[in-house]
Structure 1
Amino acid sequence: MIFVVLGTQRFPMNRVIDKIDNLIEIGFLNKNKIVIQNGHSKNSKYAENLGMIDESAFNNYIKNSDIVITHGGTSSIIKALRNNKKTIIIPRRADLREHVDNHQFEISDMFKNNGYAEVVLDIEDLKEAIINIEQKEYKKLSLPNGLADFLINDILKL
């Protein structure tokens, strides 16, 4: 199952929904194996839409997924990686009114550059990222000393 996480921000990420629907339409993705936590984004025409869900349900979907496609929110990324899920990050873009700035690009780059996840900047590259992620191995995330130590020592390397 692919779990798509678009978060709880009031800004929609409809380009992700449109691309998922397109990949279902062309037969690349199976609509019965896609679950979307779409928050404030529109509903998919084909996949299961969850809107907003509580943390327990969210964690259950993460646990039962094979691949997580997520916006660039730190919490969503770390929850996927802590559960050893292959993760594709699509950072929110300010120019598309998906956020007020592009800080998710920096967060996403840190995870990609350190070997934890794939990053899709151009939504047209999502299909290729799904193909690639199934064939690659990624570093496993462990947070023995907590999030702050992980960010400082492993990601920022301060």
Structure 2
Amino acid sequence: MAKKPHAERRNAPLLCLAASGGGHVRQLLDLEGFWSAYPHFFVTENTALGKSIAQQHDTEFVPHFALGQSRLGAGMRMLRGAVSSFWQSFWIIRRRRPEIVLTTGAGSQVFIVLWARLLSAKIILLDSFARFDRPSAFARMAGPLAHVRIAQSRKSQENWPGSLLSDPLRPIEVTETTKQDLVFATVGATLPFQRLCDLVLAAKRDGLISEDVILQVGDIETLPDAPAGVRLVRALDFAELQELLQQASIVICHGGTGSILTALRANCATIVIPRRFSLGEHYDDHQSEISEVFEQRDLVLSAHDGESLTAALQLARTMKIKPVTTDYSELIAGLHHYVQTGDPALQLSPQ
């Protein structure tokens, strides 16, 4: 897609929308009411969702890396990704020269924020919706570089000095939808999740799932053997995902907020299997924190093994659906105000 030259944006700032390739970048999509009013480009990772965004928007890719990779014994992979990201981020920011960077993290975007700040861009850091109790590692690392810091839960904001609060979670009315006898299971956009795949396939083989199953397994070399009634896919673009969610009666997903929220918006009974650090499935245990918060609000069911998945499937077929969404209208208005006035104190008030 053609890039806007500086001469075409004299009266409007160029926005850089920076986020890693899963739920982080989905949160940026929810803010379209803000960024669509200005020249903009995305910086994200080369995931299925990132590729979908690139089909519609001016998009740059940086490699995935995260500090937690070293905890999982992949320190050299993290270092290679960081070095590559350092230089790719430099050339992107040097070439594009955004006036404002809006980022939701995480690790792969830290050098975008660093170079943009060094080249005089304003930085707006919206911490991940996944962090309910405390700011993320990305927020703590990149926060000192940000001109505006925004938390999405009260407790996280209280533990992040100088931040503002914007809690977007809102209930929505249940709408009549025509659901099919379909279970959609997904490992998300960025990391493989063998345990989830194994649990779903075992439940289908044992007759615990009578519905047809579509299982998104991620970027793995060899597809597992699947019993009758299961269709395996490595990746889905965002449009295909949305269509499947309109059909599925039950969703089984990892503990990422993007996957959970898109399922809840689509009136799906949602079972969350959080990744666990102790099993080498993620860089920390924040997905357990996420699933606990959603479960405490009676929005999802959780599972971690065959027995708990069996119980969750039984409850999912009779549970009362409580669809929710994220309403960013107040934040969007505040972001417009910040762009127009440059005054973060009037954007949102600490609450």
Length-normalised TM-score, structure 2? 0.39
Shift of residue 3, structure 1, vs aligned partner: 0.2
Amino acid corresponding to residue 287 of structure 2 in structure 1: Q
Aligned pair 1:9/2:190, yes or no?
Answer: yes
Amino acid corresponding to residue 80 of structure 1 in structure 2: A
Matches within 5 A, 1:107-126: 107-126=290-309
1:50-100 CA distance string (max 9 Å, x none)? 101111111111111000001011111000001111100111111111111
Higher relative contact order structure (alpha carbons within 8 Å, sequence separation ≥ 6): 1
Q: Could you tell me which of 59, 73, 80 is aligned with 2:263?
A: 80
Q: Could you tell me which of 188, 199, 212 is aligned with 1:33?
A: 212
Q: For residue 45 of structure 1, what is the aligned residue in structure 2?
A: 226
Aligned pair 1:23/2:203, yes or no?
Answer: yes
Measure, in 2, the Cα distance between the counterparts of 1:49 and 1:131: 23
Q: Which has the larger radius of gyration?
A: 2
Shift of residue 131, structure 1, vs aligned partner: 0.2
Measure, in 2, the Cα distance between the counterparts of 1:34 and 1:77: 18
Measure, in 2, the Cα distance between the counterparts of 1:118 and 1:93: 17
Distance 1:85 1:61, change over 3 A: same
Deviates more, 1:19-28 or 1:94-103: 19-28
Amino acid corresponding to residue 298 of structure 2 in structure 1: G
Amino acid corresponding to residue 15 of structure 1 in structure 2: R
Amino acid corresponding to residue 258 of structure 2 in structure 1: S
Measure, in 2, the Cα distance between the counterparts of 1:105 and 1:146: 28
Amino acid corresponding to residue 202 of structure 2 in structure 1: N
Distance 1:59 1:137, change over 3 A: same
Measure, in 2, the Cα distance between the counterparts of 1:144 and 1:97: 34
Q: Percent identity?
A: 29
Amino acid corresponding to residue 43 of structure 1 in structure 2: P
Measure, in 2, the Cα distance between the counterparts of 1:44 and 1:79: 28
Gaps spanning 5+ residues in structure 2: where?
A: 1-181, 332-350
Amino acid corresponding to residue 303 of structure 2 in structure 1: V
CA contact (8 A) 1:72 1:92 kept: yes
Gaps spanning 5+ residues in structure 1: where?
A: 149-157
Aligned pair 1:135/2:318, yes or no?
Answer: yes
Deviates more, 1:91-100 or 1:32-41: 32-41
Matched residue of 1:121: which SS? coil
Measure, in 2, the Cα distance between the counterparts of 1:36 and 1:51: 8
CA contact (8 A) 2:263 2:270 kept: yes
Measure, in 2, the Cα distance between the counterparts of 1:77 and 1:6: 11
State the number of aligned residues: 148
Shift of residue 140, structure 1, vs aligned partner: 2.5
CA contact (8 A) 1:16 1:123 kept: no
Q: Could you tell me which of 94, 97, 100 is aligned with 2:283?
A: 100
Length-normalised TM-score, structure 1? 0.83
Shift of residue 9, structure 1, vs aligned partner: 2.2
1:121-142 CA distance string (max 9 Å, x none)? 3343101100011122142314
Q: CA RMSD in A?
A: 2.3
Measure, in 1, the Cα distance between the counterparts of 2:205 and 2:267: 29
CA contact (8 A) 2:189 2:235 kept: yes
Distance 1:92 1:38, change over 3 A: same
